[in-house]
Amino acid sequence: MSKIIVAVDESQGSSDAIALASTLAGITDSTLTLVNVFPYDLTPSRASNRQFEEYLRRDSRELLERLRDAHGDEAVELRTIANPSPSHGLHELAEQEEADLIVVGSTHTGRAGRVLPGSTAERLLHGAPCPVAVAPHGYAQRPDQQPAVIGCAYDGSGSSRHALEEAGRLATATGAQLQAIRVFEPLMYDLPPGNTAFGGMASYNDTLHVRAGEELEAAVARLETDRAESKLEVGNAAHVLADASEGLDLLFMGSRGYGPMHAVLVGGVSGQLVREAACPVIVFPRGAGDGNDASLFAKTAAVHG
């Protein structure tokens, strides 16, 4: 069975993370594990204090039990982890448990309805071994959390192709509408480097614009769903996608194109978007194999198909 890890603490963002994880667990028939990482280093040293560790672990366990009681599902697993770095603790657990997804909430300082990761989410998004979902502030108070419209940011990269495949699988399983969104940013220099055959800047950008649209249409055509549409926009990618998120229930996207393979690594457009999106954002690792039938949403599509 698929596994979803939910990072929780005393903040309001924990309720948002649990709400999003519960929605996705219901769709994907996954188990939920609530995880609290408390600040203690288990490495033996002069500063080691067994009683203090036990106190922190007990306090962590009580928090998890309160959150599980509030959630109302006794089947939810609880894990306390001692680690001075919450992001490292979550990363290690995800690897050990071969988790399919990590869900985190945004920091309490974010605007209502906007994703603004706190320090744990911020660091976790730089190298997580599986997809990471970030719930926007106030998500738990939304009346309907079932996805009706799913978006996917597409730029032609391998990770964005993988994200689009996963979004298509979820759309198939839920009957949601899928919007594959590509943003074309016109080049600013006068002529293409070393080439003047295109007849100037306008025609060169026109050529690139047409090519981007054709690539997007081809990517959508390869999806195994009839509920997908392509949307080619012009402008700043992060701003256009953030605006588009206002009309979405989930937004899928890939990691940037460098960094460790099979790890989420947010930067550039994805880093800005995960802070500004009005809907939950799910970021997929670079190099997490295209067509992976063991992925969370591939298994979901198989069950519902």
> pLDDT tens across 30-44, in order?
999 999 999 988 777
DSSP label at residue 61: H
Tracing tokens 């080049």 back to the chain, one arrives at 187
Mean pLDDT of 301-305: 50
3-state secondary structure 115-166: CCECHHHHHHCECCCCCEEEECCCHHHCCCCCCCEEEEECCCCHHHHHHHHH
pLDDT digits (tens, 9 = 90+) for 163-185: 999 999 999 989 999 999 999 98
pLDDT on residue 199? 52
Mean pLDDT of 137-153: 91
Read off the tokens for 190.
């006068």
Amino acid at 69: D
pLDDT on residue 289? 46
Instruction: Please name the residue ranges forming H helices in 222-288.
Output: 237-244, 268-276
More confident residue, 266 or 227: 227
Give the closest residue to 284 by CA, choosing from 143, 140, 134.
134
CB 227 within 8 A of CB 176: yes
Q: β-pairing, 250-254 with 281-284? A: parallel
| Residue partners of 197: CB distance under 8 A and separation at least 6 | none
| Residue partners of 54: CB distance under 8 A and separation at least 6 | none
User: What CA–CA distance (Å, rounded) separates 127 from 245?
Assistant: 24
Q: What confidence tier does 202 reach under pLDDT thresholds 50, 70, 90? A: low
User: What CA–CA distance (Å, rounded) separates 86 from 122?
Assistant: 11
DSSP label at residue 84: S
Q: Mapping DSSP to helix (H, G, I), strand (E, B) and coil, where does residue 300 land?
A: helix
Read off the tokens for 253.
């996207």
Q: What confidence tier does 290 reach under pLDDT thresholds 50, 70, 90? A: very low
User: What CA–CA distance (Å, rounded) separates 217 from 268?
Assistant: 24
Mean pLDDT of 97-122: 73
CB 272 within 8 A of CB 238: yes
Share of the chain above pLDDT 90, in %: 49
Residue 46 confidence (pLDDT) above 70: no
pLDDT on residue 186? 87
Residue 7 confidence (pLDDT) above 90: yes
Give the closest residue to 208 by CA, choosing from 191, 184, 230.
184
What is the gyration radius of the CA atoms in the chain, in angstroms?
21
Mean pLDDT of 286-303: 59
Which domains, from first to last, does the chain contain? Answer: 1-145 (3.40.50.620), 146-305 (3.40.50.620)
List the single range of 51-55, 76-80, 201-205, 255-259 with lowest mean pLDDT: 255-259
pLDDT digits (tens, 9 = 90+) for 58-101: 999 999 999 999 988 888 999 999 999 888 899 999 999 999 99
Q: What mean pLDDT is reported for the chain? A: 83
Tell me the sheet residues that pair with 126.
Answer: 265
pLDDT on residue 273? 78
206 exposure class (CB count in 10 Å sphere: 0-12, 13-18, 19+): middle
Read off the tokens for 284.
């997929």
